[in-house]
Amino acid sequence: MTARRSRPRLRLPPAVVRAGAPPPVQQPTVVHFHGGGYCIGSARTIRGWAAHLSAQAGCRVVLPEYRLAPEHPYPAGLQDALAVTAALEGPVVLSGDSAGGGLALALVLSMRDQGQGMPAGCILLSPWLDLGRDRRGDPGLVRRDVLLTPDWLDACAHAYAAPEAWADPSVSPLLAVHSGLPPLLIQAGTSELLAPDAELLAASASAAGTDVTYTRWPRMWHDFMLQPGLLAAADSALAQAAWFVGTVTAGLA
């Protein structure tokens, strides 16, 4: 994996995206963690999606930067995520795409296990939830995924944590007990390598009594929902996310 310049802990304050003028009353807050295999990416890449969500849901969207592997492996990113959410007030919905979805769910689990106040809900877009899963087990899915490869996921998994840590639920939150969680919105495409993670989480969390909304879009690729205004499927996914934010935060402001 190409070496990257070290990123200090929370070097930059989280970006805040708010469509239009601030309302006279407190807005719900969505905290979204960007994807990139825990190794690449930036909150800047998600601002378009955040602006669309803010406009439709009447919320503000906080976009944290978190330390990236390999310079800063687990638990650095999770520690940064905990620090960001601890500084927020009012109704909060956690969110994340790809590895950011795994980070968001790991954060919710940490908050639950530490007895902290829980977020109003959690949005998981094409989440990467099991770092140890053999992604070569479904050759047809490998062929259909136009963005991810098993080799790249393996490289990112090794950069983020040692293989013996992959079974830790704070690294692979699919392996956790999924009871006592806030409502979950899980979205995925059927033509992405991470589709099994979304489906397995939906089944596990539902069986554990968690309120789960799980939607999958046929023939859509990894993170397609981040392209509202360009794809009808992404527009549909965004509208569902806005509905979810409004539903889980109703009456909490």
The model's pLDDT over 151-171, given as tens digits with 9 standing for 90+, comes to: 999 999 999 999 999 999 999
Which position among 54, 65, 72, 98 bears the catalytic label?
98
Give CA–CA dist 123/127, Å, rounded.
Answer: 9
Strand 15-17, strand 60-63: pairing: antiparallel
Active-site hit among 32, 52, 192, 204: 192
Q: What tokens does 250 get?
A: 């109703």
Q: Which pLDDT band holds residue 90 (cuts at 50, 70, 90)?
A: confident
Structural contact between residues 117 and 209, judged by C-beta atoms closer than 8 angstroms: no
- The strand pairing partners of 92, in sequence order, are 29
Average of per-residue pLDDT values in the chain: 93
Amino acid identity, position 217: W
Q: Are 132 and 200 in contact (CB under 8 A)?
A: no
**Coil vs helix vs strand at 1:** coil
40 by Cβ neighbours in 10 Å (0-12 / 13-18 / 19+) ranks as middle
192 is catalytic: yes
Annotated catalytic residue, options 32, 34, 72, 222 = 222
Active site residue 222: yes
Q: Say which amino acid occupies 28.
A: P
pLDDT in tens, 102-127: 999 999 999 999 999 999 999 999 99
Compute the average pLDDT of residues 147-154: 98
Q: In what order do the strands lie in the sheet with 184-189?
A: 15-17, 60-63, 29-33, 92-97, 121-125, 184-189, 212-217
Query: In the numeric block, which tokens belong to residue 172?
Result: 């692979």
Using alpha carbons, list the distances in angstroms from residue 175 to 149, 159, 201, 204, 230. Answer: 22, 20, 9, 9, 35
Distance of CA 167 to the CA centre of its chain: 19
**Percent of the chain residues topping a pLDDT of 90:** 89
CA 250 to chain centre: 22
* Element containing residue 33 per DSSP (H, E): strand 29-33
Q: In the prediction, which pLDDT does 8 show?
A: 43
72 is annotated as an active-site residue: no
